[in-house]
Each structure stands twice: as C-alpha cells, then as structure tokens.
A and B are shown apart, each in its own frame.
Chain A
Amino acid sequence: MISIIIKEIKHNFRDKRAITLMIAFPLLLMVILGVVFNGQFASNGIDFSGAKVIYSAKEDGNLHKGFKEFAHELEEMNIIFEQIENEDDAIKKIQDDLYTCYISLDENSKELNIYKNNKRNTTASFIEGMLATFVQRYNLVSQIIEVNPNSIDEIMNKDIKNDYVKIVSIDEKKQARAIDYYGITMLTLIIMYSVNAGIFSIQGEQTIKTGDRIIGTPINKYKVFLGKVLGAFAVTAIQISIVILFSTKILGVNWGNDIVTILIIIITQIIMCISIGVGIGFLVSSQEVGNGVISAIIPLLVFLGGGYYPLERIGSDLLFKISIISPIRWINDSIFNVIYLNDYKYVSSTVVFNIVISFVFLLLANMKYRRREEI
C-alpha cells in the first residue's frame, strides 16, 4: 500500500506545471488581492453604521476612563456607545435585539462581561475582538455571555462570577489586513481544487489501463483504494504546507496564536475535498467531465464563502443566507473567528461537517467500487 501512496505522490510531483500552479497560484492571488484591497481592510475604513452598544460601569475610575477612550476609538467607526445604569434592563434590551451587545465593567473586581444575543452577528464579534485588546491592556478578567431570548431565568440565575473565562488577546497591530484575509481565503480556495487530485487518482488509472493491470495482481483492491486516497491526501498536504510556509514567512500572513486548531480545520478540509474528488471520480465517465463539474461549482462556493471578497461587505441579506450552504463559508468563518476573536464556536461543527461529507463521498465511491465486475 505504501508503494501505491509513493506512486501517487510521484505522479503528481512529476507534473511540474500542475504542481507549480497549485503552489504559485494561491500565493500570487494573495499578493494581488492583498494589495488591491489593502485600503478597504484598514481598520478605520470599516463602517459599522448603526451598531449600538450599551455599557455599565460600577464606580468611576481608571478602568471607566480607559473604556471611554476605547469607546471613542470605536465611535469613529460609527459604533454608538450608550451608558446604562440598570443591568437587568440592559440584558432585556439585548434579548429584544435592540442593541448589539452589553458590556458591564467592574472596577473593583477587574471584571468585564460581554452580553450578546445568540444571533449571528459580525459587529458583536468585531467588538469582542477589539475588547480583547482592551481586556489585556487593563489586565481584566472577562467572559462572553450569550443571551438566549427564551431562557431569561437561566441566565439570571447563573453564577457568572465563578465562571471566569480569560480571553487571550491578540496584538493590536495584527488586525486583519487584506493580506491576512486573502492569505486564509486563497488557501481554503486552493484546497478546494484538490478535488482534482481525488478525481485524477481514480480516473487517471482507468484511461491508461494500468487499473486493469493492478487488478491482475494479488494486491487487495481495498488497499489500492485506500492507498490512492492517502496518496492524494499526502500530495495535497505537501502542497498546502508549502503555501502556508511561504505565506507566513514571506508574505507575513497572520495565523493567530492557535495554529493547531487551524491546521485541524484545514486538514479536515483537505480530507473532505479528496473524498469528494474520489467520489466524483467513480461517478463520472471521464476525467474531463469531472473537472468540468468542479470548475463550475468551486468558484461559486468560494464566492459564497467570501473567498474573493467578504460577503458581509456586499451587504445583501439574501446572499448571506444562501452562503450558509457553502462549506467554505463555514471553514473561513471558523478560521477567522479563531484567529481574530478567539472564538471556537464554529470549529467543532465545521470539523464534524467536513468529516461527515468525506464519509458520504467515500461510502459512495466504495459502493461503486464494489459493484464493478472484476473479482
């Protein structure tokens, strides 16, 4: 089986043009898009018009003063800050979705709590991210509380103070620049094209008859199958590592603090794409058909995933809702959330989703494989 894996790797790396394309293409796009959209990603260019935040501060002091300065910075981005006295009132307002989030400060216990609606909200996430810096600067303990409109009591009764979560902050300088954005989205884009590697590993063998020859040998056909899938995975993994290495070392793309989690997301994405490719490889009659199908679908999925331009900025609600069907949407979101917001809530669902899709396609491929005539 090892020899099949090695052979698959050789096939791919001997095709110098394809391999260069798979590596150079995303890097080039990162640079180009990074430069072209540079202005739009600078933090003072972001417009959160209409976003309203309420906050309360127990006792006046340095913390409150600092927070005001912080709020002032954000007000330049059209986020409105309002102070409020009554905490219960504030939470109610969040539940009713009147404000983006509620921040409570406690000078004495050096605590900062963020209450937010459990609706998906980028502005809230952004503020969280900004606050993280603030929290670190003032050495605060902080936590994010999601408010569920249907379970008010639960929230109220919760002993919040015993449940501190420390937010690890990100460096202020490392806000997402264009290059950071495209460094990630172009990577997840190019991984999508590893579907091709999956298709090739199945179809390539059929067109040149070597598949028949392999059947004539005593090797178990499931080992061949597994060897091919692993081979395609290895090839893609090597390519992607090179892209990652270049993009971080040369282009300086920010990968955040938790590289392991991001790698896990990326690895499951590769597995998913290879499996889809293998599945397609068995379903279609020729490599050309397969490549045609995916070169039509991938750009669409990437677009919906915000791969070319952040969808939030286009500002179409409908588009945003449709975009949920794109696996790239999930993958990109979970990666950005980990890097910039320390937010892991999408990670597990994305990983599970990737694995489930992989299984579905591998199972499909396996069914087709078993039905073939040969013994």
Chain B
Amino acid sequence: MQIVKIQGLTKKFGDLIAVDNVSLEIEQGEIYSLLGPNGAGKSTIINIISGLLKMNKGEVEILGKNIIKHSNYVKKNMGIVPQDIAIYEDLTAYENVKFFTTLYGIKGEELKRKTTEALEFVGLNDKSDKFPKSFSGGMKRRLNIACAIAHRPKLIIMDEPTVGIDPQSRNHILESVRKLNKLGCTIIYTTHYMEEVEAISTKIGIIDHGKLIAEGNKEELKAIVTDRQAIYITVNDSEKVNINELKKINGVVDVTVDGNVVEIDNKKEINNWDKIITYFYSNSIPVKNIESKVPNLETVFLTLTGRKLRD
C-alpha cells in the first residue's frame, strides 16, 4: 500500500522556488531517506505535509487521503519530529509527551501507558520526571522524538533528528528508527549525513535546489556511477611519478597527486592493475600502500550535483 504519494509539489517563497515540481511515492514499511544539502527544500516538503505551509501547486496524499481534504485523518495517523527541538522546558519529560499525546485525543489509562512506552522507547524512562533543562542535546532530541511517536502513528516523519548530538545518542536514535520500522511504521527521514542513510534506508531520494534529482535504493543509486573505481597508491616520494605516463595505461581516466598519495580514477571493467603496479616497480618508486574504493553515496551525490553534502 502506498503511504505517501506526492505529485508535482511546488512551493515558492517569493522568487525562491524552495520545492520544484517534486513527485515521489513511498510504500508501506519503507525507511525513506530524503538526502540533500542545506536549503535543499527538505524541511519545506515536510512542513507542507504537516500542514504548516500551503503548497503552491501539486497534490499530496497520505494513506490514500488528500492531506487538505482529510487533514484530521492524516494528522491522526502521522507523527512529526521537527528539525527544531519543540518541547517545553518547564514541563517534565513525562508531561511533555503526555501533553502532545492528548492532542491526538488519547485519554485516561491509555494515555499513561502510551506516554510511558514512548519514553521507554527512546530510553528516557528513568528521566521521566526531570525537566529538559537538565538534558543533554541528545536527550532533548530523543524527547523530541518521543513526543511524536506516543500516539502510534502509521507514518513517522523525522526531520534531521540527529543534528548536533553525540555518537551514542545518534546510534540510539538510528536503532529506534529501525525498531519503529520493524513494528510496522513507515518512516521518512531527512538528513545530510551519508552514513546514516547508508545504515538505515530502504529507499533514498536525493534532493537539491528543490528538485528530486535521483531516487532508488542504495544499489540502484550507486549503479549510476559504478563503472569507475578509485585507486589510492601511497608512495615515499611522489615527485618521481610521471602523471602523463600513468595516463597512457589503458583504463586510467585521470590521475591526481595529493601529497604522497597518487589517486587514479580507473575504469572498473578493464583489468589493468598489473600494468599500474609494473609502472611503479619499473620506475623504482617504492609503494607503501594500495587501496581501492567502490563508489559510495557521497560520490553519487558529488557526481549528480557537483557539490559536497556538507561544506
């Protein structure tokens, strides 16, 4: 079943086109990562889905229902973890989760149970009567998540839930995303951390300047650039290396030297490693280390947009 269906979504802020004709579909049970640099338009898409912003064009369906016509139904079944931490400093962790959960119409015993469960889920049950003032950044982020999941939504949208936190809290959060997914939640996850995307996503959308420029699972995306490999050869004295000689070898596309590391952009399907090594051997250049890398999403991103995810 399709949980999210976005068609031709466009949002302008004055002259700026923050979201540009984006269409995407997310199936039930997926962990969909929206990957893009600062200002790509990730939060804007999420704010439209959550009803915070009006779209200029397009249509969004959640759980098969139009988000404007059936906003109540949609909101009931959706949990949103905002990018900016949105909790009350003067309410305890428990009171925070409880308050937001009541807004979904949950009452009484059920309310207490779900509140406690959500706090347990993010690992804050021992801090439930503490005020967020005393929390670390990671704990606040976790509470921020708990407030969005206690009502057991079918779709959870997390907008950069891991910015600015310690590795331990980050792992905890990534783990809970997986757990939520196992429990049957569909998840949309925005980030600019490639490692997180590699670790948890089942499907990835790459977004830049408001446009969805590529979509697919990890393998599909990498396939875009899989005809290459990078070979890094560390030598003692790189001055002896003649770049033009190396480039003559069949299959070598480009050669760059960075300090003592010679980086060779190489065609994958051609077996030329023996020739490359022979070059170093016959020119008496001692080789200290050889390394080869298959492309990762970072390379994919770089190839597609010409820019790095983070500066």
Contact = CB atoms under 8 A, between A and B. Distances in A.
Contacts of B87: 208, 210
B51 A375 contact: yes
Nearest to A2: B102
A218 B62 CA distance: 14
Interface stretch (B78-86, B168-176, B212-220): B78-86
B196 interface: no
B50 A216 contact: yes
Nearest to B151: A217
Nearest to A208: B86
A217 B104 contact: yes
A219 interface: yes
B86 A218 contact: no
B52 A3 contact: no
Nearest to B78: A216
Given A10-B90, A10-B91, A374-B51, A3 B85 contact: no
A256 to B, nearest CB: 39
Contacts of B89: 208
Interface string B45-66: 0010011111000000000000
Contacts of A209: 82, 84-86
Nearest to B46: A216
A213 B86 contact: yes
A373 B72 CA distance: 17
Contacts of A7: 88, 91, 95, 99
Nearest to B53: A373
B88 A11 contact: yes
Interface in A20-48: none
Interface string A5-22: 001001100110000000
B103 A3 contact: yes
Contacts of A374: 51-54
Contacts of A171: none
B85 A219 contact: no
Interface residues of B, number: 30
B75 A217 contact: yes
B82 A213 contact: yes
Contacts of B86: 208-210, 212-213
A209 B100 CA distance: 13
Interface string A205-228: 000111011111111000000000
A154 B147 CA distance: 71
Contacts of A219: 103-105
A42 to B, nearest CB: 47
A217 to B, nearest CB: 4
A10 B86 CA distance: 17
B90 A215 contact: no
A212 B148 CA distance: 13
A10 B82 contact: no
B183 interface: no
B76 interface: yes
A94 B68 CA distance: 71
Contact of B100 (A14, A208, A213): A213
B242 interface: no
Contacts of B91: 7, 10-11, 14
- Residue in B76, B84, B103 whose Cβ sees the most chain A Cβ within 10 Å: B103
Given A215-B50, A375-B68, A210 B88 contact: yes
B84 A216 contact: no
Interface string A114-149: 000000000000000000000000000000000000
Nearest to A7: B99
A214 to B, nearest CB: 6
Contacts of B278: none
B38 interface: no
A374 to B, nearest CB: 5
- Residue in A14, A210, A216, A219 whose Cβ sees the most chain B Cβ within 10 Å: A216
Contact of A216 (B52, B72, B85): B52
Contacts of A215: 50-52
A328 to B, nearest CB: 31
Contact of B103 (A212, A217, A375): A217
Contacts of A375: 51, 54, 68, 71
Interface in A185-221: 208-210, 212-219
Interface of A: 3, 7, 10-11, 14-15, 208-210, 212-219, 373-375
6 contacts: A209-B86, A213-B100, A214-B103, A216-B78, A217-B103, A375-B51
Nearest first, the 7 closest Cβ-Cβ pairs linking A and B are A217-B103, A209-B86, A218-B75, A3-B102, A216-B50, A213-B86, A14-B90
Interface of B: 47, 50-54, 68, 71-72, 75-76, 78, 80, 82, 84-91, 95, 99-100, 102-105, 147
Given A212-B86, A215-B50, 9 more contacts: A11-B91, A208-B86, A212-B52, A217-B75, A218-B72, A219-B103, A373-B53, A375-B54, A375-B68
